[in-house]
Chain A
Amino acid sequence: MNREFLPAEDETRSAFDRRSFVKCALASGAALSARGFTAPALAADGQTANGAQFTLEARFYQKLDNRKIKCKLCPRECVVGDKERGYCGVRENRGGVYFTLVHSRVCAAHIDPIEKKPLFHYLPGTMAFSIATAGCNVNCKFCQNWDISQSRPEEIPAEYLAPHQAAAVARQYNCPTIAYTYSEPVVFAEYAMDTADAAHAAGVRSVVVSNGYMQHDSLVAAYGRMDAVKIDLKAFSESYYAKVVTGQLKPVLESLVTLRKMGKWTEIVYLVVPTLNDDDAELRGLAAWIKANLGPDVPLHFTQFHPEYLLKNLPITPVPTLERARQIAMAEGLHYVYIGNVPGHPAQNTYCPQCGKMLVERVGFTARQVLIRKNSTCPFCGHRIAGIWRA
């Protein structure tokens, strides 16, 4: 699962009830039909009894003997017997064929500022049509969205939203991007891929907010279609990944390197959990690894932990801890290090790494002022500021 929390209804400016929003968006399907799209027939609850319209053969798996399969989507490589599901709970073996059960099965849909993903160096000040399905391939003890990420698709309400419809909704609401977020897009990779294709055809880009816990080939195939990526790097130690995340660090680092080689715009979020992943050595190791393997221009966001889900016995991350983390990372030579989840903190602005002047001022999730020139340089000293600042 990723760290982007699902907004409560009173928390977003574009607050829609998640279900009525999709319904309302789909109502415009009539207009879409006129332009050549086909709006699907919705069953009473947005679902048919057996969820057939959400079920599609998975793209990343290998068939084994005795109708078993091995999933090749994420590093878990679940071996799944007939009629069983993988760890993610959203993929099922039916007679030796592996299926995703969450294609177009949207359980959350919102229009959020892209800064909320957070992506700070990618189209600042724009809105992203943000969608999710049920399921996740890890189980972070601090998950904010466990009610959808740790559920099977049939356990939570969802609506049918075909790829072309998602693209149409994004256009209708003037969102230059669709964001795959809230739960874990790894587990709905096929849907994200098809939606990214449909969106590109409609002139809409795609960004993904993910844990990066993915196999190389599926990462290249799925996130190769994305225009920007935010990876939650949960810690810089395998033991944390084992105990708190139920995953592994190494494949995530490999994914980051792959994304770098693919030239994908990537930002990293590191949730600082008091006592578990906040010691100086770990933070220094993290920053040094990023600089050596991804370069100094990758934005790194240190975000504040709040007690949630299965980690309720720890305090909110003290702001000085986040400031210390930022200092360490800057001292290691990273250029853009942010503090997240702390409203009003000056470290949520972007500063020029050369002249130190503030270039993007952020208030909450809004980019209030963007001074970066059209050619992506600092207006004060001419330094090139990494990022994709304009569409």
Chain B
Amino acid sequence: MTKLCERSRRNFLAQGLAGAAALGVTALCATGEPQTRAERSRVVVARDPHLRGPDAKADSPASSGIDTRRLQALLDQAVAPLFGFPATEKGAVAAWRRVVGAGRTVSLKVNTLGGRGMATNVELVEAACERLQQAGVAAPNITVWDRDSEEMERAGFRIATGGGRVQCYGTDHVGYEEDLAAWGSVGSRLSRILTRSSDVLINLPVLKDHDGAGVTIALKNMYGVIHNPNKYHPNGCNPYVADLNMLTEIRARMRLAVCDATAAMYEGGPGFKPQFSWPCNALLAAEDPVALDFVGWQMIERKRAEMGLQSLEAEKRAPRYIATAADREHHLGHADPAQIQLVEV
């Protein structure tokens, strides 16, 4: 099993030294105002049916067996076309450079709640970190994070702090800001990793069913950046998910969402249920998390139909927060298929 920050091939150590002197706490977001959405949002769905090596059992996503080289290529195919670059390594690096912009620190918010089998793959995160470094971000300025370090370890991440490498730890290491960030129905303390180590935030969720919210993808992954997510589950998490994503501290930082749908879950979430997961072998990428969630939701619905299950709508647990996030009040992105340009590669 590969471990993040362990492989010298990734040059985490070597490349990190240059930025080591600049280590420390970044004051606040250096990226300014939240971006406004274009008329249409592009969502790239990249698939590779041969993502898993011959050893991987097709019916068991838990034993990932993912070919890391193919996964890196798949990530390039997802991210490069998003910005109009060719899906080559060079094109991908240019795309990542666009994502990072003038940001000095970049963080990758993974989702490890489901544990190994239904968490953001370590291999995917390593692939993203490699491209980020190629795009000019020093290793120690990259932080891979989630709410809790133990959960991250259970999902296969190796905790790493200090030194010249990519940082990898949970908010439990640094805590939450004392002050409350509030918008609409939401009032929360934000992870200091978000506020102090994330000029740019990359959202790396998974694709899965959620008994209360319908689905949990990019927007809901932000529940992992606040101190009180338990407060926001009533009413199918609506409007809480949308309100949370309105917080300037999140909105201004989140530049890209790449959903790890190498394995996905169409029922029984959010906890990992192997019997309801399938090797989807896909990555979804978008700058607009609402559009990404909408596309991901439809993929889950199609799988449910294929498996003979009722739609989430019929089960009265459609993710209504997605439409809320797109409404006039929030305007976080597009949830209307007419305004989503779906690129399938």
Kindly provide the distance from the CB of B336 to the nearest chain A CB, expressed in whole angstroms: 29
Given contacts A81-B211, A309-B180, A309-B187, contact A150 B231 (CB under 8 A): yes
Q: How far is the CA of A309 from the CA of B189 in the complex (A)?
A: 12
Q: In the complex the two chains form, is A152's CB within 8 Å of B227's CB?
A: yes
Q: In the complex the two chains form, is A146's CB within 8 Å of B270's CB?
A: no
Q: Which of the candidate stretches A86-94, A178-186, A264-272, A314-322 sits at the interface with the other chain?
A: A86-94
Within A77-113, the residues touching B (CB, 8 Å) are 79, 81-89
Q: In the complex the two chains form, is A89's CB within 8 Å of B228's CB?
A: yes
Kindly provide the distance from the CB of B274 to the nearest chain A CB, expressed in whole angstroms: 13
Q: In the complex the two chains form, is A86's CB within 8 Å of B230's CB?
A: yes
Given contacts A81-B211, A146-B180, A310-B187, contact A152 B230 (CB under 8 A): yes
Q: In the complex the two chains form, is A87's CB within 8 Å of B228's CB?
A: no
Kindly provide the distance from the CB of B72 to the nearest chain A CB, expressed in whole angstroms: 31
Taking CB atoms, residues of chain A closer than 8 Å to B227 are 150-152, 155
> Scoring B residues 239 to 256 as 1 if CB is less than 8 Å from chain A, else 0, what string do you get?
000000000000000000
Taking CB atoms, residues of chain B closer than 8 Å to A141 are 187
Kindly provide the distance from the CB of B312 to the nearest chain A CB, expressed in whole angstroms: 17
Q: In the complex the two chains form, is B230's CB within 8 Å of A87's CB?
A: yes
Given contacts A150-B228, A151-B228, A155-B227, contact A82 B271 (CB under 8 A): yes
Taking CB atoms, residues of chain B closer than 8 Å to A87 are 230-231, 233-234
Q: How far is the CA of A66 from the CA of B115 in the complex (A)?
A: 17
Q: Which residues of B contact A (CB under 8 A)?
A: 113, 115, 172, 175-176, 180, 182, 187, 211, 227-228, 230-231, 233-234, 268, 270-271
Q: How far is the CA of A66 from the CA of B267 in the complex (A)?
A: 13
Q: In the complex the two chains form, is B228's CB within 8 Å of A84's CB?
A: no
Taking CB atoms, residues of chain B closer than 8 Å to A38 are none
In the complex, which residue of chain A has the Cβ closest to the Cβ of B154? A83
Q: How far is the CA of A84 from the CA of B271 in the complex (A)?
A: 8
Within A178-196, the residues touching B (CB, 8 Å) are none
Taking CB atoms, residues of chain B closer than 8 Å to A154 are 172
Given contacts A89-B230, A146-B187, A150-B231, contact A81 B271 (CB under 8 A): yes
In the complex, which residue of chain B has the Cβ closest to the Cβ of A81? B271
Q: In the complex the two chains form, is B182's CB within 8 Å of A246's CB?
A: no
Q: How far is the CA of A390 from the CA of B270 in the complex (A)?
A: 54
Interface size class of A (residues with CB under 8 A): 20 to 34
Confirm or deny: A139 has a beta carbon within 8 angstroms of a beta carbon on chain B: yes
Q: How far is the CA of A86 from the CA of B180 in the complex (A)?
A: 22
Given contacts A146-B187, A309-B187, contact A83 B271 (CB under 8 A): yes
> Scoring A residues 230 to 270 as 1 if CB is less than 8 Å from chain B, else 0, what string do you get?
00000000000000001000000000000000000000000
Q: How far is the CA of A103 from the CA of B187 in the complex (A)?
A: 26
Q: How far is the CA of A150 from the CA of B211 in the complex (A)?
A: 23
Given contacts A146-B187, A309-B187, contact A246 B234 (CB under 8 A): yes
6 more CB-based (< 8 A) A-B contacts, given A86-B230, A88-B230, A155-B227: A87-B234, A89-B230, A146-B180, A146-B187, A151-B228, A155-B175
Q: In the complex the two chains form, is B182's CB within 8 Å of A85's CB?
A: no
Q: In the complex the two chains form, is B271's CB within 8 Å of A89's CB?
A: no
25 A-B residue pairs with Cβ-Cβ distance under 8 Å, sorted by A, are: A66-B268, A79-B211, A81-B211, A81-B270, A81-B271, A82-B271, A83-B115, A84-B270, A87-B231, A87-B234, A88-B230, A89-B230, A146-B187, A150-B187, A150-B228, A151-B227, A151-B228, A152-B228, A154-B172, A155-B176, A246-B231, A246-B234, A309-B180, A309-B187, A310-B182
In the complex, which residue of chain B has the Cβ closest to the Cβ of A89? B230
Taking CB atoms, residues of chain A closer than 8 Å to B182 are 310
Kindly provide the distance from the CB of A307 to the nearest chain B CB, expressed in whole angstroms: 13
In the complex, which residue of chain B has the Cβ closest to the Cβ of A136? B231
Q: How far is the CA of A66 from the CA of B211 in the complex (A)?
A: 13
**Highest count of chain B CB atoms <10 Å: which of A88, A150, A152, A309:** A150
Q: Which residues of A contact B (CB under 8 A)?
A: 66, 79, 81-89, 139, 141, 146, 150-152, 154-155, 246, 309-310
Q: How far is the CA of A83 from the CA of B119 in the complex (A)?
A: 15
Kindly provide the distance from the CB of A177 to the nearest chain B CB, expressed in whole angstroms: 31
Taking CB atoms, residues of chain B closer than 8 Å to A79 are 211
In the complex, which residue of chain B has the Cβ closest to the Cβ of A151? B227
Q: How far is the CA of A79 from the CA of B317 in the complex (A)?
A: 15
In the complex, which residue of chain A has the Cβ closest to the Cβ of B147? A152
Taking CB atoms, residues of chain A closer than 8 Å to B270 are 81, 84
Taking CB atoms, residues of chain B closer than 8 Å to A139 are 231
Kindly provide the distance from the CB of A91 to the nearest chain B CB, expressed in whole angstroms: 10
Q: How far is the CA of A88 from the CA of B227 in the complex (A)?
A: 12
Given contacts A83-B271, A154-B172, contact A89 B187 (CB under 8 A): no
Q: How far is the CA of A267 from the CA of B182 in the complex (A)?
A: 33
Q: In the complex the two chains form, is A89's CB within 8 Å of B231's CB?
A: yes
Q: How far is the CA of A85 from the CA of B230 in the complex (A)?
A: 7
**Highest count of chain B CB atoms <10 Å: which of A66, A85, A155:** A155
Taking CB atoms, residues of chain A closer than 8 Å to B113 are 83
**Highest count of chain A CB atoms <10 Å: which of B180, B187, B268:** B187
In the complex, which residue of chain A has the Cβ closest to the Cβ of B234? A246
Q: How far is the CA of A89 from the CA of B233 in the complex (A)?
A: 11
Taking CB atoms, residues of chain B closer than 8 Å to A150 are 187, 227-228, 231
Q: How far is the CA of A83 from the CA of B176 in the complex (A)?
A: 22
6 closest cross-chain pairs (CB), A and B: A89-B230, A310-B187, A81-B271, A150-B228, A139-B231, A85-B230
Q: How far is the CA of A83 from the CA of B115 in the complex (A)?
A: 10
Q: How far is the CA of A155 from the CA of B172 in the complex (A)?
A: 8
